[in-house]
Chains A and B, each alone.
Chain A
Amino acid sequence: MSWTVRMLNSSIGRKQIMAVTGLAFCLFLTTHLIGNLFIYAGEDAFNSYVEHLHSLGPLIHIAEMGLAFFALLHVSNAIVLIIRNRLSRPTRYAKYKSTGGRTLASATMPYTGSLILIFLIFHLLTLKFADHTDKTVYDLLAQSLANPIYAGFYILFIVAVGFHVFHGVWSAFQTIGLNHPKYTPLIRVAGILFSLVITAGFASIPLTIVLK
């Protein structure tokens, strides 16, 4: 077996793939949020943003394919790692108490991750792959978010993203090996702030539409 295969199949290799793809998703979340905030400039501004994005042509397709490939890597590695981790402790403790290391976010990574995956599929079906013939993206968005149940779910999933990112950001840096007394505290704070901004930013959209 060549070193690449051995590297990518080892525990640390797989986790580093998780880390790199995860950080890439954080970049995506940032651009996605910035784009979404056009909604506050009005319907026309938002639709023209969407058009501009589509007019990028091949660039946008490459980005989409890249994201899909990363998602595949992130999810498949997560599944392998979760299964291996479960097998590593076949008998559970009758009583297990945290000594203070783990957080709610770190302990729920597989669950928040699964929620995000479910939401992602749903989100793509309702917006990206929906019938666009006589509706703009804004129409589709307003239509679906007008349903309070859908809006509620949307917010729930955003919170899941927030939790996932809360642990994910610093964890990714640690897994890549970027840990230093100088900047690790900064990374931790930045990760927490990032998760708060992402949660508040994305959740504000359905809230304003529902409350309008």
Chain B
Amino acid sequence: MSEKNISLTLRVWRQAGPHVKGQLITYHLDDVSTDMSFLEMIDVLNEKLTLRDEDPIAFDHDCREGICGMCGAVVDGQVHGPETATTLCQLHMRHFTDGDTIIVEPFRSRAFPIIKDLVVDRSGLDKIIQAGGYISASTGGSTDANAMPIPTQTAEEAMDAAACIGCGACVASCPNASAMLFAGAKVSQLALLPQGKAEREKRVWSIVHKMDELGFGNCSNERECEATCPKEISISHIARFNREFTRAAFVSREK
């Protein structure tokens, strides 16, 4: 693909801190190479802002290769931008055309308070994992790999759920700001594997209550999460989560 340069108008959400009012500010950017990633494009803009003695746009990022889950913003109304199965860092400017106006907003959810500009606090997802996204393993020598038979298909399905990078796109794209895909992927992954059996019932309950407590919304099966998830995690994991919930309600010894 041949490199081109395009000019863009960006309308970026600027908010100095958690409790101040934010607004969309317009920036013009010329000579944007179409080989740049979206984040590199913001880097270029930030250099210009710094030279002009303005505050650069704060945004989260780390690996820039689509595996860490740190990056993410809502680009023109779509989480991680218009490409499917793509994180924001892997979105390239060749998907935009000369003269485009692009609105860039942070993830919006009560459970993801804005820290600054495009940076939001996603520790709610960590709290969900702390509530139940773990297993108990006995200490001692490691068991023989073949001692625990797991059918390939089951292992694959668990791996599909485990592909979650915790970016929070599911919450941001959900019309109800629900964390069901994130939580469902974890519950499903561990419910599929023998290692997850020890806390099977406790896990579902703790995770559901943590989700509710943190102010995540309620899934109404809009399927936007599945459509935006950079790892294409299926909502069948949400169904397994629902199933595990009912099962736990009847099987759990808790009164």
Chain B residue nearest in CB terms to A173: B239
Is B161 interfacial (CB 8 A cutoff)? no
Are A93 and B74 in contact, CB atoms less than 8 angstroms apart? yes
Is A175 interfacial (CB 8 A cutoff)? yes
Q: Determine the main DSSP class of B at the interface with A.
A: mixed
B242 touches which one: A94, A106, A175 (CB < 8 A)? A175
- Tell me which residues across on chain B come within 8 A of A184, comparing CB atoms: 236
Contact code string B118-151 (vs A, CB < 8 Å = 1, else 0):
0000000000000000000000000000000000
- Tell me which residues across on chain A come within 8 A of B13, comparing CB atoms: 94
Chain B residue nearest in CB terms to A12: B245
Contact code string B83-94 (vs A, CB < 8 Å = 1, else 0):
010000000000
Is A7 interfacial (CB 8 A cutoff)? yes
Given contacts A88-B111, A89-B109, A177-B246, contact A106 B239 (CB under 8 A): no
- Tell me which residues across on chain B come within 8 A of A180, comparing CB atoms: 236
- Tell me which residues across on chain A come within 8 A of B235, comparing CB atoms: 174, 179
Bound form: Cα–Cα A2–B255 in Å: 6
Given contacts A3-B252, A177-B239, contact A106 B221 (CB under 8 A): yes
Are B221 and A92 in contact, CB atoms less than 8 angstroms apart? no
- Tell me which residues across on chain A come within 8 A of B249, comparing CB atoms: 3, 7, 13
- Tell me which residues across on chain B come within 8 A of A7, comparing CB atoms: 245, 249
Is A85 interfacial (CB 8 A cutoff)? yes
Binds B, one of A97-105, A143-151, A156-164, A195-203: A97-105
Are A11 and B246 in contact, CB atoms less than 8 angstroms apart? no
- Tell me which residues across on chain A come within 8 A of B5, comparing CB atoms: none
Are A93 and B212 in contact, CB atoms less than 8 angstroms apart? no
Residue total for B at the interface (Cβ-Cβ under 8 A): 54
Contact code string B15-28 (vs A, CB < 8 Å = 1, else 0):
00000000010000
Bound form: Cα–Cα A6–B245 in Å: 12
Would you list which residues of chain B between 176 and 230 have a CB under 8 Å from chain A? 176-178, 205, 208-209, 211-212, 215-228
Is B35 interfacial (CB 8 A cutoff)? no
Given contacts A87-B215, A94-B105, A177-B242, contact A101 B223 (CB under 8 A): yes
Would you list which residues of chain A between 109 and 142 have a CB under 8 Å from chain B? 109
- Tell me which residues across on chain A come within 8 A of B177, comparing CB atoms: 85, 88-89
Residue total for A at the interface (Cβ-Cβ under 8 A): 45
Contact code string B42-68 (vs A, CB < 8 Å = 1, else 0):
000000000000000000000000000
* Shortest distance from the beta carbon of A169 to any chain B beta carbon, whole Å: 11
- Tell me which residues across on chain A come within 8 A of B77, comparing CB atoms: 93, 95-97
Bound form: Cα–Cα A41–B177 in Å: 50
Is B158 interfacial (CB 8 A cutoff)? no
Bound form: Cα–Cα A87–B111 in Å: 10
Spell out A's residues near B (CB within 8 Å). 2-3, 6-7, 10-16, 81, 84-85, 87-102, 106-107, 109, 167, 170-171, 174-181, 184
Known: A6-B205, A88-B110, A101-B225. 14 other contacts (CB 8 A): A3-B249, A88-B215, A88-B216, A94-B13, A96-B74, A97-B77, A98-B224, A98-B227, A99-B173, A99-B227, A99-B228, A100-B227, A106-B223, A171-B220
